[in-house]
Structure 1
Protein backbone atom coordinates (compact mmCIF):
# COMPACT_ATOMS: atom_id res chain seq x y z
CA UNK A 1 0.00 0.00 0.00
CA UNK A 2 1.31 3.48 -0.78
CA UNK A 3 2.38 5.55 2.26
CA UNK A 4 -0.33 8.18 1.69
CA UNK A 5 -3.11 5.64 1.49
CA UNK A 6 -1.70 3.62 4.40
CA UNK A 7 -1.98 6.68 6.65
CA UNK A 8 -5.48 7.40 5.37
CA UNK A 9 -6.56 3.78 5.89
CA UNK A 10 -5.14 3.67 9.41
CA UNK A 11 -6.96 6.89 10.31
CA UNK A 12 -10.18 5.52 8.80
CA UNK A 13 -9.90 2.25 10.77
CA UNK A 14 -9.75 4.26 13.99
CA UNK A 15 -12.71 6.37 12.90
CA UNK A 16 -14.91 3.38 12.10
CA UNK A 17 -15.51 2.58 15.74
CA UNK A 18 -16.76 6.07 16.59
CA UNK A 19 -20.41 5.68 15.69
CA UNK A 20 -23.14 5.01 13.15
CA UNK A 21 -23.12 5.97 9.52
CA UNK A 22 -24.71 9.43 9.40
CA UNK A 23 -28.43 9.02 8.83
CA UNK A 24 -31.69 8.68 10.67
CA UNK A 25 -31.26 5.22 12.18
CA UNK A 26 -31.10 4.94 15.95
CA UNK A 27 -28.77 2.68 17.88
CA UNK A 28 -31.63 0.19 18.31
CA UNK A 29 -31.96 -0.12 14.51
CA UNK A 30 -28.21 -0.53 13.84
CA UNK A 31 -26.60 -3.77 12.66
CA UNK A 32 -23.16 -5.02 13.62
CA UNK A 33 -20.66 -5.71 10.80
CA UNK A 34 -16.92 -6.17 10.48
CA UNK A 35 -14.87 -3.94 8.23
CA UNK A 36 -11.41 -4.94 6.98
CA UNK A 37 -9.48 -2.30 5.08
CA UNK A 38 -6.58 -3.55 2.96
CA UNK A 39 -3.99 -5.17 5.26
CA UNK A 40 -5.28 -3.49 8.44
CA UNK A 41 -6.94 -5.49 11.26
CA UNK A 42 -10.71 -5.99 10.98
CA UNK A 43 -12.86 -3.59 13.03
CA UNK A 44 -16.39 -4.27 14.33
CA UNK A 45 -18.79 -1.38 13.73
CA UNK A 46 -22.49 -0.60 13.99
CA UNK A 47 -24.13 0.79 10.89
CA UNK A 48 -27.47 1.56 9.34
CA UNK A 49 -29.04 -1.65 7.98
CA UNK A 50 -29.04 -2.24 4.22
CA UNK A 51 -26.58 0.56 3.52
CA UNK A 52 -24.33 0.04 0.50
CA UNK A 53 -20.79 -0.96 1.57
CA UNK A 54 -19.25 1.88 -0.42
CA UNK A 55 -21.42 4.39 1.42
CA UNK A 56 -20.39 2.83 4.73
CA UNK A 57 -16.71 3.34 3.91
CA UNK A 58 -17.16 6.84 2.51
CA UNK A 59 -19.12 7.93 5.58
CA UNK A 60 -16.12 7.09 7.75
CA UNK A 61 -13.59 8.80 5.51
CA UNK A 62 -12.09 5.65 4.02
CA UNK A 63 -10.45 6.55 0.66
CA UNK A 64 -11.83 4.41 -2.17
CA UNK A 65 -10.97 5.00 -5.83
CA UNK A 66 -12.27 3.52 -9.06
CA UNK A 67 -9.70 0.70 -9.08
CA UNK A 68 -10.32 -0.56 -5.55
CA UNK A 69 -12.43 -3.64 -4.84
CA UNK A 70 -15.18 -3.59 -2.23
CA UNK A 71 -16.57 -7.01 -1.31
CA UNK A 72 -19.26 -8.16 1.11
CA UNK A 73 -18.85 -11.62 2.66
CA UNK A 74 -21.96 -13.22 4.19
CA UNK A 75 -21.86 -16.62 5.84
CA UNK A 76 -18.42 -17.25 4.31
CA UNK A 77 -19.46 -16.41 0.72
CA UNK A 78 -19.15 -13.26 -1.34
CA UNK A 79 -22.42 -11.68 -2.42
CA UNK A 80 -23.12 -9.41 -5.36
CA UNK A 81 -25.76 -7.15 -6.87
CA UNK A 82 -28.48 -5.93 -4.56
CA UNK A 83 -27.42 -8.47 -1.94
CA UNK A 84 -24.37 -6.33 -1.21
CA UNK A 85 -26.50 -4.04 0.97
CA UNK A 86 -25.08 -4.60 4.42
CA UNK A 87 -26.80 -6.96 6.88
CA UNK A 88 -26.13 -8.11 10.42
CA UNK A 89 -22.89 -10.12 10.67
CA UNK A 90 -21.54 -9.19 7.24
CA UNK A 91 -17.84 -8.59 6.59
CA UNK A 92 -17.01 -5.62 4.36
CA UNK A 93 -13.59 -5.96 2.71
CA UNK A 94 -11.74 -3.19 0.89
CA UNK A 95 -8.88 -4.32 -1.36
CA UNK A 96 -6.63 -1.49 -2.47
CA UNK A 97 -5.81 -1.94 -6.17
CA UNK A 98 -2.90 -0.12 -7.82
CA UNK A 99 -1.92 -0.17 -11.49
CA UNK A 100 1.80 0.37 -11.92
CA UNK A 101 3.65 0.73 -15.23
CA UNK A 102 7.26 -0.35 -15.38
CA UNK A 103 9.70 -0.37 -18.28
CA UNK A 104 13.02 -2.04 -18.90
CA UNK A 105 15.41 -2.65 -21.76
CA UNK A 106 16.18 -6.15 -22.99
CA UNK A 107 18.98 -7.43 -25.21
CA UNK A 108 18.00 -8.83 -28.59
CA UNK A 109 20.27 -11.64 -29.82
CA UNK A 110 22.54 -10.62 -32.66
CA UNK A 111 22.44 -14.05 -34.32
CA UNK A 112 25.01 -15.38 -36.79
CA UNK A 113 25.03 -15.43 -40.59
CA UNK A 114 27.28 -18.04 -42.22
CA UNK A 115 28.49 -17.48 -45.76
CA UNK A 116 29.97 -20.33 -47.74
CA UNK A 117 33.13 -19.51 -49.65
CA UNK A 118 35.80 -21.31 -51.64
CA UNK A 119 38.42 -18.72 -50.60
CA UNK A 120 38.97 -20.64 -47.36
CA UNK A 121 39.93 -24.27 -46.95
CA UNK A 122 36.92 -26.54 -46.43
CA UNK A 123 35.77 -26.39 -42.80
CA UNK A 124 37.83 -23.29 -41.94
CA UNK A 125 35.95 -20.31 -40.51
CA UNK A 126 36.69 -16.60 -40.49
CA UNK A 127 34.72 -13.88 -38.66
CA UNK A 128 34.42 -10.83 -40.89
CA UNK A 129 32.03 -8.86 -38.66
CA UNK A 130 31.40 -9.29 -34.96
CA UNK A 131 27.95 -7.70 -35.07
CA UNK A 132 26.14 -6.40 -32.02
CA UNK A 133 22.99 -7.19 -30.04
CA UNK A 134 19.88 -5.07 -30.40
CA UNK A 135 17.88 -3.40 -27.66
CA UNK A 136 14.14 -3.71 -27.03
CA UNK A 137 12.08 -1.60 -24.62
CA UNK A 138 9.41 -3.60 -22.78
CA UNK A 139 6.59 -1.89 -20.85
CA UNK A 140 4.61 -3.92 -18.30
CA UNK A 141 1.43 -3.12 -16.41
CA UNK A 142 1.48 -4.60 -12.91
CA UNK A 143 -1.62 -4.98 -10.74
CA UNK A 144 -1.11 -4.81 -6.97
CA UNK A 145 -3.67 -5.86 -4.35
CA UNK A 146 -2.84 -4.30 -0.99
CA UNK A 147 0.73 -3.80 -2.16
CA UNK A 148 1.20 -7.40 -3.38
CA UNK A 149 1.55 -8.14 -7.09
CA UNK A 150 -1.22 -10.37 -8.42
CA UNK A 151 -0.83 -9.87 -12.16
CA UNK A 152 1.67 -8.56 -14.71
CA UNK A 153 1.28 -8.25 -18.46
CA UNK A 154 3.29 -6.74 -21.29
CA UNK A 155 1.50 -3.79 -22.87
CA UNK A 156 4.18 -2.57 -25.28
CA UNK A 157 7.34 -3.80 -26.98
CA UNK A 158 9.48 -1.46 -29.08
CA UNK A 159 12.78 -2.15 -30.82
CA UNK A 160 15.04 0.83 -30.08
CA UNK A 161 18.21 -0.56 -31.69
CA UNK A 162 18.33 -3.14 -34.47
CA UNK A 163 20.62 -6.14 -33.94
CA UNK A 164 23.45 -6.67 -36.42
CA UNK A 165 24.28 -10.34 -36.99
CA UNK A 166 27.76 -11.79 -36.70
CA UNK A 167 29.02 -12.67 -40.19
CA UNK A 168 31.23 -15.74 -40.58
CA UNK A 169 32.85 -17.08 -43.74
CA UNK A 170 32.86 -20.89 -43.88
CA UNK A 171 35.19 -22.66 -46.28
CA UNK A 172 33.80 -25.33 -48.59
CA UNK A 173 34.91 -27.30 -51.60
CA UNK A 174 34.36 -25.70 -55.01
CA UNK A 175 31.13 -26.64 -56.70
CA UNK A 176 31.49 -29.77 -58.78
CA UNK A 177 29.84 -30.42 -62.16
CA UNK A 178 30.37 -33.98 -63.49
CA UNK A 179 32.42 -34.09 -66.69
CA UNK A 180 33.95 -30.62 -66.26
CA UNK A 181 36.29 -30.85 -63.30
CA UNK A 182 39.27 -32.13 -65.30
CA UNK A 183 39.29 -29.13 -67.65
CA UNK A 184 41.77 -26.28 -67.36
CA UNK A 185 39.51 -23.55 -65.97
CA UNK A 186 42.48 -21.52 -64.73
CA UNK A 187 43.81 -21.22 -68.30
CA UNK A 188 40.39 -20.15 -69.59
CA UNK A 189 40.06 -17.50 -66.84
CA UNK A 190 43.56 -16.13 -67.52
CA UNK A 191 42.77 -15.83 -71.20
CA UNK A 192 39.34 -14.23 -70.75
CA UNK A 193 40.02 -11.82 -67.88
CA UNK A 194 43.63 -12.13 -66.80
CA UNK A 195 42.36 -14.22 -63.85
CA UNK A 196 40.52 -11.22 -62.36
CA UNK A 197 37.08 -12.11 -60.90
CA UNK A 198 36.20 -8.39 -60.87
CA UNK A 199 37.08 -7.75 -64.52
CA UNK A 200 34.53 -5.68 -66.48
CA UNK A 201 34.48 -5.26 -70.25
CA UNK A 202 32.68 -2.06 -71.35
CA UNK A 203 30.87 -4.14 -73.96
CA UNK A 204 28.90 -5.79 -71.11
CA UNK A 205 30.98 -8.79 -70.05
CA UNK A 206 31.90 -9.54 -66.47
CA UNK A 207 34.16 -11.61 -64.24
CA UNK A 208 36.62 -14.44 -64.74
CA UNK A 209 34.83 -15.94 -67.73
CA UNK A 210 33.36 -12.75 -69.17
CA UNK A 211 29.68 -13.62 -68.81
CA UNK A 212 27.07 -11.27 -70.16
CA UNK A 213 24.15 -10.78 -67.76
CA UNK A 214 21.66 -12.86 -69.76
CA UNK A 215 23.99 -15.86 -69.96
CA UNK A 216 24.88 -15.56 -66.29
CA UNK A 217 21.23 -15.72 -65.31
CA UNK A 218 20.56 -18.62 -67.67
CA UNK A 219 22.82 -20.79 -65.49
CA UNK A 220 21.26 -19.67 -62.20
CA UNK A 221 23.37 -16.64 -61.37
CA UNK A 222 21.88 -13.56 -59.70
CA UNK A 223 23.05 -9.97 -59.77
CA UNK A 224 26.28 -9.42 -61.68
CA UNK A 225 28.98 -12.10 -62.08
CA UNK A 226 31.49 -9.76 -60.44
CA UNK A 227 29.40 -9.82 -57.25
CA UNK A 228 29.88 -13.60 -56.95
CA UNK A 229 32.92 -15.38 -55.58
CA UNK A 230 35.51 -16.81 -57.94
CA UNK A 231 34.31 -20.30 -56.95
CA UNK A 232 30.73 -19.54 -57.93
CA UNK A 233 31.82 -17.98 -61.22
CA UNK A 234 33.73 -21.15 -62.05
CA UNK A 235 30.73 -23.28 -61.08
CA UNK A 236 28.43 -21.27 -63.38
CA UNK A 237 31.00 -21.53 -66.18
CA UNK A 238 31.01 -25.32 -65.77
CA UNK A 239 27.21 -25.39 -66.01
CA UNK A 240 27.42 -23.32 -69.19
CA UNK A 241 30.01 -25.71 -70.62
CA UNK A 242 27.66 -28.65 -69.93
CA UNK A 243 25.00 -26.87 -71.96
CA UNK A 244 27.03 -25.45 -74.88
CA UNK A 245 30.58 -26.80 -74.76
CA UNK A 246 33.40 -24.38 -75.69
CA UNK A 247 31.20 -22.21 -77.94
CA UNK A 248 30.59 -19.40 -75.36
CA UNK A 249 34.38 -18.73 -75.48
CA UNK A 250 35.22 -18.74 -79.20
CA UNK A 251 38.78 -17.44 -78.71
CA UNK A 252 39.87 -18.91 -75.39
CA UNK A 253 37.76 -22.08 -75.24
CA UNK A 254 40.50 -24.04 -76.97
CA UNK A 255 42.53 -23.85 -73.70
CA UNK A 256 40.08 -26.01 -71.75
Structure 2
Protein backbone atom coordinates (compact mmCIF):
# COMPACT_ATOMS: atom_id res chain seq x y z
CA UNK A 1 0.00 0.00 0.00
CA UNK A 2 1.30 3.48 -0.85
CA UNK A 3 0.85 6.14 1.81
CA UNK A 4 1.75 9.83 1.79
CA UNK A 5 2.70 10.89 5.33
CA UNK A 6 2.45 14.68 5.54
CA UNK A 7 4.50 15.87 8.49
CA UNK A 8 6.44 12.66 8.05
CA UNK A 9 9.72 13.97 9.47
CA UNK A 10 8.45 14.90 12.95
CA UNK A 11 8.29 13.04 16.26
CA UNK A 12 5.28 10.90 15.32
CA UNK A 13 5.52 11.08 11.52
CA UNK A 14 9.05 9.72 11.27
CA UNK A 15 8.11 6.72 13.40
CA UNK A 16 4.90 6.11 11.43
CA UNK A 17 6.93 6.05 8.20
CA UNK A 18 9.43 3.63 9.71
CA UNK A 19 6.73 1.29 11.06
CA UNK A 20 4.82 1.22 7.77
CA UNK A 21 7.88 0.62 5.62
CA UNK A 22 9.09 -2.13 7.95
CA UNK A 23 5.70 -3.82 7.43
CA UNK A 24 6.20 -3.82 3.65
CA UNK A 25 4.20 -0.74 2.72
CA UNK A 26 5.47 2.24 0.73
CA UNK A 27 5.22 5.19 3.11
CA UNK A 28 6.71 8.44 1.78
CA UNK A 29 7.47 11.28 4.24
CA UNK A 30 6.61 14.83 3.20
CA UNK A 31 7.22 18.09 5.04
CA UNK A 32 8.14 21.71 4.48
CA UNK A 33 11.77 20.58 4.38
CA UNK A 34 10.97 18.33 1.42
CA UNK A 35 9.19 21.10 -0.49
CA UNK A 36 5.59 20.60 0.65
CA UNK A 37 3.85 23.75 1.93
CA UNK A 38 0.41 22.83 3.27
CA UNK A 39 -0.55 26.49 3.69
CA UNK A 40 0.65 27.91 0.38
CA UNK A 41 -0.19 24.67 -1.44
CA UNK A 42 3.17 24.21 -3.13
CA UNK A 43 4.07 20.54 -3.62
CA UNK A 44 0.83 19.23 -2.11
CA UNK A 45 -0.60 17.71 -5.30
CA UNK A 46 2.72 16.03 -6.06
CA UNK A 47 3.01 14.67 -2.52
CA UNK A 48 -0.32 12.85 -2.56
CA UNK A 49 -0.25 11.73 -6.22
CA UNK A 50 -0.66 7.95 -6.41
CA UNK A 51 -1.21 7.53 -2.67
CA UNK A 52 -4.01 5.27 -1.51
CA UNK A 53 -3.85 6.78 1.97
CA UNK A 54 -2.96 10.29 3.15
CA UNK A 55 -1.81 10.61 6.76
CA UNK A 56 -1.72 14.22 7.95
CA UNK A 57 0.54 14.71 10.98
CA UNK A 58 1.38 18.38 10.41
CA UNK A 59 1.04 20.75 13.34
CA UNK A 60 0.47 24.45 13.79
CA UNK A 61 3.62 26.47 14.57
CA UNK A 62 1.70 28.25 17.36
CA UNK A 63 -0.84 27.23 20.00
CA UNK A 64 -2.77 30.51 19.95
CA UNK A 65 -5.75 31.69 17.91
CA UNK A 66 -3.66 31.60 14.72
CA UNK A 67 -3.73 27.80 14.92
CA UNK A 68 -7.36 27.84 13.77
CA UNK A 69 -6.39 29.37 10.41
CA UNK A 70 -3.51 26.90 10.07
CA UNK A 71 -5.70 23.82 10.44
CA UNK A 72 -8.51 25.22 8.29
CA UNK A 73 -6.21 26.14 5.38
CA UNK A 74 -3.97 23.06 5.57
CA UNK A 75 -6.93 20.69 5.69
CA UNK A 76 -8.69 22.43 2.80
CA UNK A 77 -5.54 22.13 0.67
CA UNK A 78 -4.76 18.54 1.59
CA UNK A 79 -8.33 17.27 1.26
CA UNK A 80 -8.71 18.86 -2.17
CA UNK A 81 -5.46 17.26 -3.32
CA UNK A 82 -6.32 13.87 -1.81
CA UNK A 83 -9.74 13.87 -3.49
CA UNK A 84 -8.23 14.88 -6.82
CA UNK A 85 -5.67 12.07 -6.51
CA UNK A 86 -8.33 9.47 -5.74
CA UNK A 87 -7.08 8.67 -2.24
CA UNK A 88 -9.34 6.21 -0.43
CA UNK A 89 -8.48 7.09 3.17
CA UNK A 90 -7.40 10.25 5.04
CA UNK A 91 -6.03 9.97 8.60
CA UNK A 92 -5.30 12.66 11.19
CA UNK A 93 -3.98 12.59 14.76
CA UNK A 94 -5.96 14.57 17.31
CA UNK A 95 -6.34 14.83 21.10
CA UNK A 96 -8.57 12.92 23.52
CA UNK A 97 -11.17 15.34 24.91
CA UNK A 98 -10.37 17.98 22.30
CA UNK A 99 -14.02 19.02 22.07
CA UNK A 100 -14.35 19.44 25.85
CA UNK A 101 -11.96 22.36 26.38
CA UNK A 102 -13.19 25.27 24.22
CA UNK A 103 -11.23 27.70 26.42
CA UNK A 104 -8.01 26.55 24.72
CA UNK A 105 -7.42 28.05 21.28
CA UNK A 106 -5.32 25.06 20.21
CA UNK A 107 -7.97 22.54 21.26
CA UNK A 108 -10.62 24.51 19.36
CA UNK A 109 -8.31 24.46 16.33
CA UNK A 110 -7.86 20.69 16.51
CA UNK A 111 -11.62 20.26 16.91
CA UNK A 112 -12.04 22.37 13.77
CA UNK A 113 -9.57 20.12 11.95
CA UNK A 114 -11.72 17.11 12.85
CA UNK A 115 -14.88 18.89 11.65
CA UNK A 116 -13.32 19.82 8.31
CA UNK A 117 -12.14 16.24 7.79
CA UNK A 118 -15.52 14.70 8.64
CA UNK A 119 -17.27 17.04 6.20
CA UNK A 120 -14.74 16.39 3.44
CA UNK A 121 -14.93 14.21 0.33
CA UNK A 122 -12.54 11.42 1.42
CA UNK A 123 -13.28 8.46 3.77
CA UNK A 124 -11.45 9.22 7.01
CA UNK A 125 -10.16 8.14 10.39
CA UNK A 126 -9.38 10.28 13.44
CA UNK A 127 -6.94 8.92 16.03
CA UNK A 128 -7.23 10.82 19.30
CA UNK A 129 -4.34 10.40 21.75
CA UNK A 130 -3.79 11.53 25.32
CA UNK A 131 -0.74 13.66 26.22
CA UNK A 132 2.64 12.38 25.03
CA UNK A 133 5.17 11.35 27.66
CA UNK A 134 7.76 13.21 25.60
CA UNK A 135 5.98 16.52 26.32
CA UNK A 136 6.04 16.40 30.13
CA UNK A 137 9.32 18.33 30.34
CA UNK A 138 7.88 21.05 28.11
CA UNK A 139 4.71 21.25 30.24
CA UNK A 140 6.83 21.75 33.35
CA UNK A 141 8.98 24.38 31.66
CA UNK A 142 5.94 26.60 31.05
CA UNK A 143 5.47 27.22 34.79
CA UNK A 144 9.01 26.75 36.13
CA UNK A 145 10.48 29.61 38.14
CA UNK A 146 13.82 29.15 39.86
CA UNK A 147 13.59 26.20 42.24
CA UNK A 148 9.83 25.80 41.83
CA UNK A 149 7.58 24.20 39.21
CA UNK A 150 3.89 25.06 39.55
CA UNK A 151 1.42 22.49 38.22
CA UNK A 152 -2.31 21.84 38.63
CA UNK A 153 -3.60 18.46 39.78
CA UNK A 154 -5.31 17.86 36.42
CA UNK A 155 -5.66 14.12 35.66
CA UNK A 156 -3.24 13.06 32.89
CA UNK A 157 -3.00 9.71 31.07
CA UNK A 158 0.42 9.91 29.37
CA UNK A 159 1.21 7.81 26.30
CA UNK A 160 4.57 7.13 24.66
CA UNK A 161 5.07 8.61 21.19
CA UNK A 162 6.08 5.18 19.87
CA UNK A 163 2.73 3.75 20.97
CA UNK A 164 0.95 6.64 19.25
CA UNK A 165 2.85 5.98 16.04
CA UNK A 166 1.97 2.27 16.18
CA UNK A 167 -1.71 3.11 16.57
CA UNK A 168 -1.70 5.64 13.72
CA UNK A 169 0.08 3.19 11.40
CA UNK A 170 -2.42 0.43 12.23
CA UNK A 171 -5.41 2.67 11.53
CA UNK A 172 -3.83 3.99 8.31
CA UNK A 173 -3.67 0.56 6.68
CA UNK A 174 -7.11 -0.48 7.88
CA UNK A 175 -10.61 0.27 6.69
CA UNK A 176 -11.58 3.94 7.19
CA UNK A 177 -13.35 4.39 10.52
CA UNK A 178 -15.36 7.40 9.37
CA UNK A 179 -15.14 8.19 13.05
CA UNK A 180 -12.79 8.38 16.01
CA UNK A 181 -10.49 5.95 17.81
CA UNK A 182 -9.21 6.99 21.25
CA UNK A 183 -5.84 5.80 22.52
CA UNK A 184 -4.17 6.48 25.85
CA UNK A 185 -1.51 5.34 28.25
CA UNK A 186 -2.14 2.55 30.77
CA UNK A 187 -1.93 4.80 33.87
CA UNK A 188 -3.56 7.98 35.17
CA UNK A 189 -1.65 10.55 37.23
CA UNK A 190 -2.39 13.97 38.66
CA UNK A 191 -0.18 16.34 36.64
CA UNK A 192 1.52 17.73 39.77
CA UNK A 193 2.38 14.21 40.92
CA UNK A 194 3.66 13.31 37.46
CA UNK A 195 5.94 16.33 37.71
CA UNK A 196 7.32 15.12 41.05
CA UNK A 197 7.94 11.62 39.65
CA UNK A 198 9.75 13.08 36.64
CA UNK A 199 11.98 15.41 38.65
CA UNK A 200 12.82 12.68 41.15
CA UNK A 201 13.86 10.28 38.37
CA UNK A 202 16.14 12.92 36.88
CA UNK A 203 17.68 13.83 40.22
CA UNK A 204 16.26 17.35 39.83
CA UNK A 205 15.96 19.07 43.21
CA UNK A 206 13.25 21.52 42.18
CA UNK A 207 9.97 21.43 44.10
CA UNK A 208 6.57 20.96 42.50
CA UNK A 209 3.93 23.21 44.00
CA UNK A 210 0.30 22.34 43.35
CA UNK A 211 -1.30 25.39 41.74
CA UNK A 212 -4.76 25.06 40.16
CA UNK A 213 -4.16 28.22 38.09
CA UNK A 214 -0.80 27.24 36.55
CA UNK A 215 -0.26 26.58 32.86
CA UNK A 216 -2.39 25.42 29.97
CA UNK A 217 -3.94 22.48 31.82
CA UNK A 218 -5.36 24.76 34.51
CA UNK A 219 -8.36 25.45 32.27
CA UNK A 220 -9.26 21.75 32.06
CA UNK A 221 -12.07 21.61 34.61
CA UNK A 222 -13.09 17.97 34.20
CA UNK A 223 -10.90 15.22 32.85
CA UNK A 224 -9.68 14.53 29.32
CA UNK A 225 -9.09 10.83 29.78
CA UNK A 226 -10.02 7.86 27.61
CA UNK A 227 -13.27 5.98 28.10
CA UNK A 228 -13.75 2.21 28.40
CA UNK A 229 -13.89 1.80 24.60
CA UNK A 230 -10.40 3.22 24.09
CA UNK A 231 -7.26 1.30 23.21
CA UNK A 232 -4.74 1.42 26.06
CA UNK A 233 -1.09 1.37 25.03
CA UNK A 234 1.38 -0.91 26.83
CA UNK A 235 4.18 1.48 27.85
CA UNK A 236 4.11 2.56 31.51
CA UNK A 237 5.60 5.92 32.48
CA UNK A 238 8.27 4.41 34.75
CA UNK A 239 9.42 2.13 31.94
CA UNK A 240 9.53 5.05 29.50
CA UNK A 241 11.58 7.12 31.96
CA UNK A 242 14.04 4.26 32.32
Structure with max Cα Rg: 1
* TM over 0.5, shorter chain: no
Judging by fraction of residues, say which structure has more helix. Answer: 2
- TM-score, scaled to structure 2: 0.23
* TM-score when normalising by structure 1: 0.22
Larger relative contact order, structure 1 or 2 (CA cutoff 8 Å, min sep 6): 2
Q: Which has the higher strand share?
A: 1
